[in-house]
Amino acid sequence: MRNDCDGFFAALGWMAFAPDPAARFERLSAEEKRRLCREAGAHRLSHCFYYFFRNALPSEFREEFGRSYHAVSAWELGYGVALNRLRKRIAELGGRPVALKGAYLAYHAYPSPVLRAKGDYDLWLPEGVREIHAALQAEGEWRTMPGIAPDHHLPALYNRDGRMAEIHLNPFHPYRNRPEPPAFGKFVRELPDGSASFEPELHWLILLEHCRHDGWLGLPRRLLDLGFLQKKHRLSAGRISELRRELRLPTDPALIFEAFPDFFPEGERLFRGTFPRQLLDDLRQLGGSSFSALSSKRQLRLELTFRPLGAWGKIRFLARRSLITPAFLREKYGLPDHVSRRELLRCYRRDVGEKLLLLCRFFGTVPPEAVREAGRIRRRLARRLDGYGQSGNSDR
């Protein structure tokens, strides 16, 4: 498990809070610049480094990071067009879409939408959720893929260009013991561009709870989300505390500030609290870890769920995912109802081949000890946070 993030969190903090982040980076030694660039690449933040530190980057990284930046720019431009069309169509169907996470942050927190690359477009609707979801599918521009949807959003929608949108049933995940979705309608306000949004403090809490739900992995990107949102909207610590109490959210907001004081400058620390040193060290180690050899989130999930299973657990895991029916194939690959067996067999081979390739990559990349260490830290963090998440032991 790689974690060499000393100085890296501070560099991310410069992006969010420093008046001239490039000047800070310029003062570093050549070796320190190279080390931070390697970390940026491992955490898939090279496009951000190019945006903020372009002229100060070491020559061996400048061209590579430039390609990354322009590739993300092209992808995000297409995403923006598709998602504006989707938002407009939902409004025509009577919905009032509220963008969540990256879909909100890219346009209302970051200095440029390119800095917040999005894998999907998350949104929430105060009412008419299932009816609008069904209407979008019926029109044909957006369709769903087969499979079981999580309990916090409806089956994901895809357009023909591969852009994905998820209509959430509740802004938080998991949302057990939270208010019912209609209760969030009172937090919706209208933005100057005519779109609907939650107040920034609620967006901040949604991000924090997703950090915890995701097991504190990928925190460099999450820290940038929290930092840019805080800097852009000058959040109220009192309002965050009020919302947290009202919504019964478990995560103590002081935790993120105490664990990453190098990211948040002294004047930007909204909360303070007292936590065991081991808990904070575990959070930094896990949050800064990079499984850079993994090619996708699916592989990371395999590492953290499949590998720790015993022999019988692995057999059951694989058996459940190998049951591919003709109905599944027709829906996944958009085949007509009356399709030849040869075509079904071709799609079956493709589907199985993709899964086998994923497993081959899985078995041949990250050393098992790295995964076991990540699992141990996650379990230890979960046990320790049980004693601090609900206590409200932070002070403004």
pLDDT of residue 180: 60
> Does 260 reside within a domain?
no
> Does 177 reside within a domain?
no
> Does 153 reside within a domain?
no
* pTM listed for this prediction: 0.80
User: How many domains does one find in the chain?
Assistant: 1
Burial class (CB in 10 A: 0-12, 13-18, 19+), 212: middle
Listed as ranges, residues in the chain with pLDDT below 70 are 1-5, 145-152, 173-182, 291-325, 328-336, 354-355, 358-372, 387-396
The β-bridge partners of 122 are 100, 166
Helix (H, G, I), strand (E, B) or coil at 168: strand
pLDDT of residue 162: 78
Neighbours of 323 (CB within 10 A): 7
Give the tokens for residue 339.
Answer: 């399709």
H helices present in the chain, as ranges: 8-17, 21-26, 30-42, 46-53, 59-92, 101-108, 129-139, 200-213, 219-233, 237-247, 254-259, 277-287, 297-301, 311-321, 326-332, 341-363, 368-386
Quick check: 388 and 332 in contact, CB under 8 A?
no
Which is nearest to 169 in space by CA: 144, 209, 132? 132
The β-bridge partners of 189 are 197
> Does 62 reside within a domain?
no
The β-bridge partners of 38 are none
Q: What separation in angstroms does the CA of 67 have from each of 47, 154, 254, 294?
A: 8, 35, 37, 20
pLDDT of residue 295: 43
pLDDT of residue 293: 44
pLDDT of residue 395: 47
Strands 121-124 and 164-168, sheet pairing: parallel
pLDDT of residue 192: 83
Please give the radius of gyration of the chain, using alpha carbons only, rounded to the nearest integer: 22
**Structural domain span for residue 333:** 297-365
> Does 319 reside within a domain?
yes
> Does 305 reside within a domain?
yes
> Does 73 reside within a domain?
no
> Does 342 reside within a domain?
yes
